[in-house]
Amino acid sequence: MRLKKLIMGVGLALMAFSFATKAQAATSSVQEVIDESYVQPDYVLGYSLSDSQRSETLSLLGYDSSKDTSVKTLTTSAYASIMDVADDSSLQLYSSVKIKKLGSSKGLSVSIVTPENITKVTEDMYRNAAVTLGIEHAEITVASPIQVTGESALAGIYYSLEQNGASVSTESKELAQEELNALSDINAENQNKEGYDADKLNVAMTDIKSAVADGGSSLSESDIRKIVEDTLSNYGLKDSMTSNQITVIVNFAVNLSKSSVIKNSNFKSTLTSLKNSIVSKAKSTFSGINLNFDANSAIESGKGFFANLWQQIVNFFTNLFS
């Protein structure tokens, strides 16, 4: 009887494993979908564009009518579903994107072809959020015919990926949006503030995310706050930022540490590529800064200090009463 139960148990376990494997195979990662499905670039236009603005925006994005056929529209209902907000017909969606696949030897590039009309989000903010979303190498172009914040462009990227078969988790979308909001808000609030620099903040974020990926769920909130504060200090940003702005980054990093996003085997290498790209573009900005800073090392050394201190206390009382 026991043998029969054992055989049945093994059989059920094998079936469960088989189903899990099939389910995993049925869904494709973000980068896999870009590599396999984006034979042509994919265009996602904002719902609010007029016919003439659609034509203008497609031209800005480099649309070639002789070969490009994949053009989608991000409707208010699709936007509401992606962003988990109420569907409101008054939503204004103008910022639009083109996603084009690149070879694995290429990096992740973002180009805002109408920088005068994307008022709140920078190219590197899009890149940081795209890495969190799971994009490793691709070419993303953003445009708008009128002035907008540019935040809805990220929703256009989600929409494109999902329409092409990618399995984009709610967790990934929420984290990428949280990060984009945090970076764009902090950047807007700190414009022309002494000691603040957007390039430094974007590079600091790559280091923070890498450190969180190393520590994972074992990190406490105080560990993560130390990672954030030490990293911002390394880049000379801490004194120019408010405690609330620092807490916003800490909260994002805490959420990231609990997510499956950091389990992507290429997450850290993509962050390193992004960091090197930003530093290379703004070399003088990082003069005299330790670019090999490792926030986790400070945490580990701190833990070692307290472990040694505790051992000394234990030894003291052991010798006292022996």
Higher pLDDT, 112 or 16: 112
pLDDT by residue (tens digit) across 146-195? 999 998 899 999 999 999 999 888 899 999 999 999 999 999 999 999 99
Type of residue found at 57: T
Which residue(s) pair with 138 in the sheet?
A: 101, 108
Domain ranges of the chain: 28-168, 190-305
pLDDT by residue (tens digit) across 98-136? 999 998 888 899 999 999 999 999 999 999 999 999 999
- What values do phi and psi take at 219, rounded to 5? -75, 135
Q: CA 84, CA 118: separation in Å to the nearest integer?
A: 23
Pairing of strands 71-74, 96-101: unpaired
In the structure, what pLDDT confidence band is assigned to residue 315 with cuts at 50, 70 and 90? low
Q: Does the global pTM surpass 0.85?
A: no
- Provide the CA 34 distance to its chain's centre, in angstroms: 16
pLDDT score for 251 = 97
Mean pLDDT calculated for residue range 32-49: 95
Q: CA 29, CA 161: separation in Å to the nearest integer?
A: 10
pLDDT by residue (tens digit) across 248-297? 999 999 999 999 999 988 999 999 999 999 999 998 999 999 999 888 87
- Cβ density class 265-286: b for 16+ within 10 Å, e for less: eebbebbebbbebbbeebeeeb
Helix (H, G, I), strand (E, B) or coil at 221: helix
pLDDT score for 320 = 62
In the structure, what pLDDT confidence band is assigned to residue 92 with cuts at 50, 70 and 90? very high
pLDDT by residue (tens digit) across 51-87? 999 999 999 999 999 999 999 999 999 998 888 888 8
